[in-house]
Structures are given as C-alpha cells and as structure tokens.
Structure 1
Amino acid sequence: MREDKTSHLVFGRECGECTACCVVLLIDDENFKKPADQVCSNLMEQGGCKIYTTRPSVCQEWYCAWRFMEQLDETWRPDRSGVLLRSDENGIIFQPIRDPKTVLTTERAIELIGGGVAQGIPMSMSIPTKEGFRSFGLSLNDYLEEAVQSRNLVTIQEKMIELIAYSEAQNTAMIPILEG
C-alpha cells in the first residue's frame, strides 16, 4: 500500500472541480465541526480548501465510490451525475445532490441500481426531506425486486419515483448545530 493509503483508488481519477463531499459529509472532528448537507466554511469560492494541509482526518481519508469503483465512468463523478455514491458495510448508497427524481431515474442510474438489486448487492438511497432536517435512508432491494425482474425501464423508474416521494415526505430529525 502506498504511504498515503490511496492504493484502492482508480489510478488517475481525481476529484477535479467536484466538491460534493465538502457539502454532504458530517465532520465532527476534535478541531473542526460541520453539519451534514451544509457547505463547509473552508470551501473556497473558486474551489479547493482553505485548510487543505491541516484538514480533518475524515476529509483526508474519505472517498466517494466514484474514486474507487472502476466500473463507474467519468459521468458518475458526483458533480456531473448529481449523485454522491457512497459505500459502507451495508452496500452502496445513492445520495442525490440535485433533484432526486431527476438524477435517480436516469437510464444510467436505473441500470446501476437495478444491476445491484439483481445481483443481491444491498442498494439504498439517502433522500433529502425538509431543509435543516436529516435525509431519509431507504433500503431499495426489497422494494425494487419485482420491478427489476420485469426488466422494464419505465416500471423501475415509476417505482423509484414512488420511493423517492415516500422518502421526501418522512419526518426526520433536525440536523444538529455542532459547537466547535
């Protein structure tokens, strides 16, 4: 492994102008705190980080799935696709950074979500609710299995729109104000 612990990343794939993680991620570090889904105070207007060399460990060590999933092409970079893809021990999480009904129902998104569901890979989405409130997380596999088996794009898209509308209507906890 390279000294910088990035050997799992796709060679030559860089964040470029994408700053989605500077908005989406929760940072609750000893020296710096930022609520989820709010622009980091250190994000410069022209891009880049004011505290890059001393940024919190989560900023140094966290990478979206586009950076390490080789099968995702350039169109899946979060600022291009409108979706921040994350992975955890429970599978792949689709977190829209633009209108969920638009970005999660494209043919490209349905192909990725449906392929994961068909293969039994846990797929979920994290959908914004009201401003200032946490997103609503929903596991997709059970809800989409029948639609995916139909292999009909429109059927899967309609089910996704239904699931997004359901998620958007949920009451979630307020995003806490972090004192730091």
Structure 2
Amino acid sequence: GTEIMLAVNMGTRGLKAALDELEYVNGAPGTAWADQRVANGGAEPMDIKMWCIGNEMDGPWQVGHMSPEEYAGAVDKVAHAMKLAESGLELVACGSSGAYMPTFGTWEKTVLTKAYENLDFVSCHAYYFDRGHKTRTAASMQDFLASSEDMTKFIATVSDAADQAREANNGTKDIALSLDEWGVWY
C-alpha cells in the first residue's frame, strides 16, 4: 500500500501556517480549520502522518531560500510544534536539492544535527540526465549508464550526514532517507 505525504510551506510561511494546515487536514471538527475542511466536503480527518517541512529550501530559485543554519532553526521549531500538536507524525526535513548543490552534505549534516530530536527523515532529490541525448556518443551513453554509481555516492553522503547528526546528539534513533523526488530525464 501507499500513504499520502503532504508538505508545509516554509518559503513564504512558517510555524503558524504549518500548524493551521495540520489542523485543517487532521483535526477533529470543532476547531476553525477542521470546521473549514468539513465545510469544504471533508467530514472526517484525513489522518496524514508523514509531512515534509518545506521543499528544496537550499535552492536559490525558491521564494524564501534559506541557509543551512536558517533552515535548521526553522525546521527544528516547526517540527517540534507539529509533534506537540499531534503524536505519531513522521517529519521529513529538506535535504539538498541535489548533489550538484554547493552545500550538499554540509546542508544535511547542519540541518539534521540541529533538529535531530524532532525529525524522522531527510528528503533526497536525485535526477539523472542523458546530456548527450542528441548526439548519442559512446562517452555520453557511458556517463549516463554510470548514474547508478552517482546514486550510490549520493545515498552514502546523506546517510553519513544522518549518522554524524545522531552521534553529535548522542542519539539512538536513525534518521531515514526519503527518496521523494527522483527520476531520469532525457
């Protein structure tokens, strides 16, 4: 089976909007946002358990782009509040937008170390391109077919950052990887 995963907006919104969205989606009737959901045709709470806190917040193309330190503080605060509001949530921090980002690896370590206690997953985004798709040279095809090696390195880097965050916090839980954006483009 599958489960729905939703995201809260961290670029132009923050703590209050995240809690409002959580109430709208999962709240029992009798609160302002849950009653709005009922008025919109959703009588029963949706019981969504997995939430992304922002998306690709390291990307300069994002409105509200943040440094690793800024996002670490913001995600820690929002994740803590969401877990206080509802038990049983699984929260996903934004990882780097891709291995090509200049802060890849450092972003994950910074964010996960600061917000370790309140997080369950870190998002991983990986897309692979056949850059030689118009010419189909042997070298371009070889490079494209070696994408799996890059993915292995990508996963190892993020996993190492999660392990370092656990050690820095003297923690016992593992931060899992959420491969929530991936694909092959040609």
Same fold (TM > 0.5): no
Larger helix proportion, structure 1 or 2? 2
Structure whose alpha-carbon radius of gyration is higher:
2
TM-score w.r.t. the length of structure 2 is 0.27
